[in-house]
Each structure stands twice: as C-alpha cells, then as structure tokens.
Amino acid sequence: MSRIGKKPVELPSGDSASISGQTIEVKGPKGTRSFTASDDIDLKIDGNTVTVTPRSPSKRARQQWGMSRTMVANLAQGVTSGFKKELELVGVGYRAAMQGKDLKLSLGYSHEVVFQVPEGVAVATPKPTEITIEGSDQQLVGQVAANIREWRSPEPYKGKGIRYKDEYIFRKEGKKK
C-alpha cells in the first residue's frame, strides 16, 4: 500500500480542478496546469479534494499510485504558490545580470555566458551574486536551475562555482608540501 497515495490532495481555495478521461487540469491564480495519469490509476474529485486510487492490485498500478498523487499535489501547489530555486555565485568576479529575457553570466571564462530563459519560468537577479528562478512547473524550474549550475558547478577545493542556496559543498584539503 502506498502511504503517499492514500492521502487525498486538498485543493486550496481559489483553485478548481476538472477531469476528462485520464487528464486532470488544475486552474489557479498562477495559471493552468494539467497531468495525464496512466490507465492503471483512477482520479476522482470530491468538492475540493482529489483522490487517487489504483484500478488493480498489480505491481505497475501500485508503482504509479504514489507518483500520480504527488504529480497532482505538485499541480495544486504550482498554480497557487509556485516553485522557487535560489542559486549563489561564489568566486572572484562571478556575476549574473538579466538583460531583457536573457541571463548574462560572468564565470571566469574569456567570454560572457548568455543563457536564454525558457517560457514559463521567471529568472531574477536581486544581487549580482544571486539568481532566483520561479515558475509553476516544478520540473521546469529545477531543470533551468540545473542548466545554469552546469556552466560552473562548485569545485571541492575552494568552493567556487554556482551552487544552490543552502547546498553544502564537501571541501577537500589541498596539496601538502
């Protein structure tokens, strides 16, 4: 039995959900998001709660049960409060700035890195060494953060690079004389 799948998803006030076939669509103040569940899962709306149940006791149905419930919960959270990732730039001369819809990064290369921000994600630079990424799609927000971090991931000796806000970098001791 899935402990996660058993819990019903509470829709916050202001959100509305509709089911057509295996697709659930949730509307809220930050937009509309939808998810198509597999055929092994039943979706039901009761007032402001969504319940997810498996159609059969097969292994595949049980595997999809908890994941589908989590996806529906992420839809509800995404259209109300959204998702946010914060990055820090650590290193001498490392800077970030928004220029139109592009993010310009100075990361110690001989050239500036220009990152084109995809649709559905808002990127801001409150300080030259901080980047905040916000959006209603958790997967897209995380992927954009990972793509930005990929340009200069943190190294273990000095800790320089792009890291997540509360990430701990395991530091190594340098060479001995």
| Residue 2 scores a pLDDT above 70 | no
Could you tell me the pLDDT band of residue 1, with boundaries at 50, 70 and 90? low
Q: What tens digit of pLDDT does each residue of 114-140 get?
A: 999 999 899 999 999 999 999 999 999
Read off the pTM. Answer: 0.85
For residues 91 and 84, the answer to whether their CB atoms sit within 8 Å is no
How far apart CA 76 and CA 31 sit, in angstroms, is: 11
What are residue 18's DSSP bridge partners? 25
| 50-61 pLDDT per residue, tens | 999 998 888 898
First to last CA, the chain: 58
Sorted by where each starts, the structural domains of the chain and their CATH numbers stand as 3-80 (3.90.930.12), 83-164 (3.90.930.12)
Q: What is the DSSP letter of 112?
A: -
Say whether 59 sits in a helix, a strand or coil: helix
